[in-house]
């Protein structure tokens, strides 16, 4: 039996996956790419030996990353996805009929090419006419564009080339590219394993956005599992959706929208570092 051991440098637990078959192994200018088939998780994408998605549970992450902001905005027309070259987040964005233009800004073309070939369950909507793909650094792209309703950052971990996507300067540039009622959302790692970083992202966002919050969802394949998402908003409170739920989701609905936000007292205790683990 072949196995794949994940090498996530900031995780104290290393996951080992059984591998039925390696479908693709290669290297781009930016990272190593691997697609394999696992008996338990279906097709799996790893970048630099870190799991990015599995066929079995990718929709938990992609729905949660996308639909809180996309339902908080009443009619998002112009959306940017930064990273997300596999296409899973874009698939969810396009479920909103209000969307007229959706930019995918992925630094590594190879991720898109490999996903198109081996991961159709996430990449299948990348040819939608509303999608415009740009192969460049998202931190540069957002300096050149305006009137965006929702920016979604679906990047690799906040180390290496994705580091710039968590800086105050980047958040300011995001703020400036958003329309007057725009929203921004990103994943902010695991509340169990990377609590300090989750808190840091909240604190940095608060320097830029008037409304900042955190929500979370359990994701089996990301180390620490208790996965967090940081959201910044110019006008709308992200706890409350402003449109009915889109129909074809597996997990997201209006009850889930309310439920994913932490109880306020617990949220404050975590942010004030009164509770640690």
Smaller CB separation from ligand SAM, 72 or 123: 123
Q: Can you give the binding site for ligand SAM, defined by CB under 6 A?
A: 30, 47, 52-53, 61, 82-86, 105-108, 111, 137-139, 154-156, 161-162, 164-165, 187
Catalytic residue among 48, 108, 149, 154: 154
Smaller CB separation from ligand SAM, 69 or 139 = 139
Six-digit token pair at 224? 């620490």
Closest approach of ligand SAM to the CB of residue 179, in Å = 22
Query: Shortest distance, CB of residue 187 to ligand SAM, whole angstroms?
Result: 6
The sign one gets for the Cα dihedral 93, 259, 159, 181 is positive
What's the Rg (C-alpha) of the chain? 18
How many C-beta atoms surround the C-beta of residue 141 within 10 A? 18
Using alpha carbons, list the distances in angstroms from residue 10 to 33, 65, 167, 219, 259: 19, 21, 19, 17, 28
Nearer to ligand SAM, 87 or 236 (CB): 87
A 10 A CB-CB count for 132 gives: 11
The CB-of-56 to ligand SAM minimum distance in angstroms stands at 14
Q: Which two tokens stand for residue 19?
A: 């591998």
Question: Does the annotation mark 253 as catalytic?
Answer: no
For strands 50-54 and 42-47, give the pairing: antiparallel
Q: Quick one: DSSP state of residue 201?
A: H
Q: Closest approach of Cβ 155 to ligand SAM, in Å? A: 4
Minimum CB distance to ligand SAM smaller for 165 or for 231: 165
Beta bridge mates, 196:
none
**Closer to ligand SAM at the Cβ: 109 or 234?**
109
Residue 127, phi then psi, degrees to nearest 5: -90, 5
Paired residues of 190 in beta bridges: 227
Q: Which residues contact 129 (CB under 8 A, 6 or more apart)?
A: none
Rounded CA-CA distance 277/174 in Å is 32
Least separation in angstroms between CB 157 and ligand SAM: 7
Active-site positions read 154
């Amino acid at each position: 039996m072949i196995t794949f051991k994940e090498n996530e440098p900031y995780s104290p637990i290393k996951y080992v996956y059984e591998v039925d078959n390696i479908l693709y192994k290669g290297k781009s200018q930016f990272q190593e790419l691997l697609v394999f088939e696992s008996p338990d998780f279906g097709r799996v994408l790893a970048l630099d030996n870190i799991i990015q998605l599995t066929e079995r549970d990718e929709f938990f992450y992609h729905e949660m990353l996308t639909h809180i902001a996309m339902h908080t905005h009443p009619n998002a027309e112009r959306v940017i996805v930064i990273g997300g070259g596999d296409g899973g987040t874009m698939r969810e964005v396009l479920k909103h009929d209000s969307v007229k233009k959706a930019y995918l800004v992925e630094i590594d073309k190879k991720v898109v090419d490999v996903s198109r070939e081996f991961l159709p369950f996430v990449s299948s909507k990348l040819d939608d006419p509303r999608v415009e793909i740009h192969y460049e650094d998202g931190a540069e792209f957002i300096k050149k564009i305006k009137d965006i309703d929702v920016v979604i950052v679906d990047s690799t971990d906040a180390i290496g080339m994705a580091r710039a996507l968590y800086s105050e300067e980047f958040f300011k540039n995001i703020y400036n590219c958003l329309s007057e009622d725009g929203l921004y959302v990103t994943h902010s790692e695991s509340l169990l394993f990377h609590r300090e970083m989750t808190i840091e992202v909240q604190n940095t966002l608060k320097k830029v956005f008037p409304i900042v919050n955190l929500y979370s969802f359990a994701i089996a394949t990301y180390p620490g599992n208790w996965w967090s998402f940081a959201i910044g908003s110019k006008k709308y409170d992200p706890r409350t959706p402003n449109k009915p739920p889109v129909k074809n989701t597996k997990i997201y609905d209006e009850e889930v929208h309310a439920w994913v936000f932490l109880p306020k007292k617990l949220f404050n205790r975590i942010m004030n570092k009164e509770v640690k683990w």
